[in-house]
Chain A
Amino acid sequence: MIGKKKKEPPPSNGNEASILEMAKFYFLNSKYNEAIAEFKKALAINPGNAEAYYNLGLIHENRNNTDEAKDMYEKALAIDPDYKLAKDHLNKLIGIQKKI
């Protein structure tokens, strides 16, 4: 069933972890503009936050903005080369299929 769920956002006290939590809440509720703003806030505090880049990649991928999504996944992988989900999504977008 294709649908949306709605909840209240978690309280934010302005630190990186709570901003990230808030951003993911917006993402899960398909409030992508709000989620982008929060992920960017998290990156302003810590530019080395691979998870924030990965999530921004997901939002762009959801919006069919392939180039931007690839850019974000690449940034996540530059920070954490073992970020499996980022690698899987990037490979999918580039067109690299998993070998049997």
Chain B
Amino acid sequence: MKKRQFAVIGLGTFGSSVARELASKNAQVLAIDTVEEKVKDITPYITQAVVADATEEKVLRSLGISDIDCAIVAIGQSMESSIMITLLLKELGVKSIIVKSVSDLHSKIVAKLGADRVIFPEYEMAKKLAESLVSPNILEEIELSQEFNIVEMVAPKNFWGKSIRESEIRANFKVDVIAIKRHSPTITDEGQSDIKEEIAIAPGGEFEIRENDIMVLVGKETDLDHLKEI
């Protein structure tokens, strides 16, 4: 299978992390930044890193950007540069463009220019943090669509010792259990105590929910909210 080719433009914390993660998953990664030191730092980890100004069309052309499967514009400091680069990438026919946004206005502009996906990490993290502070039993929440979410939560006390069927979670809350995670004590090869995580995927109706279990649930956001309150 042909390796997918990515370009990451802007090597701040976000951009360099994306570039390194992609490379660790065997993708071909071209990284671009105007700061030599940032390019030097990432060079050992990815396919190619270049010092270049991506706001110049001829630079992008010379790097063969049109052949890239997906470009990630990760410029946080200059909204103007981010917008210009998005426009150029679109004009040069890059198949998929993802832009890291710094504000609502930035998101709207790049969306109008044809960005395929706009991400706003600060906002997304803030939302997650607020949710985890308000509902400490919620460990993770992933938005599947505007209506449906996946939630990872500590099993509520009312469910302890009951099978999934007995808990009547589906009948009463209209959510499905897609996995149950359980931590078990163990001993390492060096004789130290530790905990290992076991996971039951798509557990059947007879599967018993125990104290300290973590349930991974899928359902409508409104239904999941009811469950968080019990």
State the A residues within 8 Å of B (CB). 2, 24, 27-30, 54-55, 58, 61-64, 85, 100
A-B residue pairs in contact (CB < 8 Å), sample of 26: A2-B182, A2-B198, A24-B193, A27-B185, A27-B193, A28-B186, A28-B193, A29-B185, A30-B184, A30-B185, A54-B193, A58-B185, A58-B193, A58-B194, A58-B195, A62-B212, A63-B212, A64-B137, A64-B214, A85-B188, A85-B194, A100-B20, A100-B21, A100-B23, A100-B24, A100-B45
For residue B154, CB closer than 8 A to chain A, the reply is: yes
Grouping DSSP codes into helix (H, G, I), strand (E, B) and loop, the B interface class, with mixed when no group exceeds half, is strand
A11 to B24, CA, bound (A): 50
Q: How far is the CB of A66 from chain B (nearest CB, A)?
A: 8
B193 touching A2, Cβ below 8 Å: no
State the B residues within 8 Å of A (CB). 20-21, 23-24, 45, 137, 139, 154, 182-188, 192-195, 198, 200, 211-212, 214
- Chain B residues in 8 Å Cβ range of A64: 137, 139, 154, 212, 214
B200 touching A55, Cβ below 8 Å: no
A28 to B186, CA, bound (A): 6
A36 to B98, CA, bound (A): 50
A54 to B193, CA, bound (A): 9
Q: How far is the CB of B47 from chain A (nearest CB, A)?
A: 15
Please judge, given known A-B contacts A58-B195, A100-B45, whether A28 and B185 are in contact too, CB under 8 Å.
Answer: yes
A54 to B192, CA, bound (A): 10
- Chain A residues in 8 Å Cβ range of B186: 28
- Chain A residues in 8 Å Cβ range of B139: 64
Grouping DSSP codes into helix (H, G, I), strand (E, B) and loop, the A interface class, with mixed when no group exceeds half, is helix
Closest to A55 in B: B193
A61 to B214, CA, bound (A): 12
A62 touching B183, Cβ below 8 Å: yes
B24, B45, B182, B185 — most chain A CB neighbours (10 Å): B185
- Chain B residues in 8 Å Cβ range of A24: 193
A27 to B194, CA, bound (A): 10
A30 to B184, CA, bound (A): 8
Closest to A88 in B: B194
- Chain B residues in 8 Å Cβ range of A54: 193
Q: How far is the CB of A6 from chain B (nearest CB, A)?
A: 13
- Chain B residues in 8 Å Cβ range of A100: 20-21, 23-24, 45
Closest to B25 in A: A100
A61 to B184, CA, bound (A): 11
| Of A30, A62, A63, A85, the contact of B192 (CB 8 Å cutoff) | A85
- Chain A residues in 8 Å Cβ range of B45: 100
A65 to B16, CA, bound (A): 33
A100 to B17, CA, bound (A): 9
Q: How far is the CB of B167 from chain A (nearest CB, A)?
A: 17
A55 to B195, CA, bound (A): 10
A24 to B212, CA, bound (A): 19
| Of A28, A55, A61, the contact of B183 (CB 8 Å cutoff) | A61
A58 to B186, CA, bound (A): 10
A61 to B196, CA, bound (A): 11
- Chain A residues in 8 Å Cβ range of B188: 85
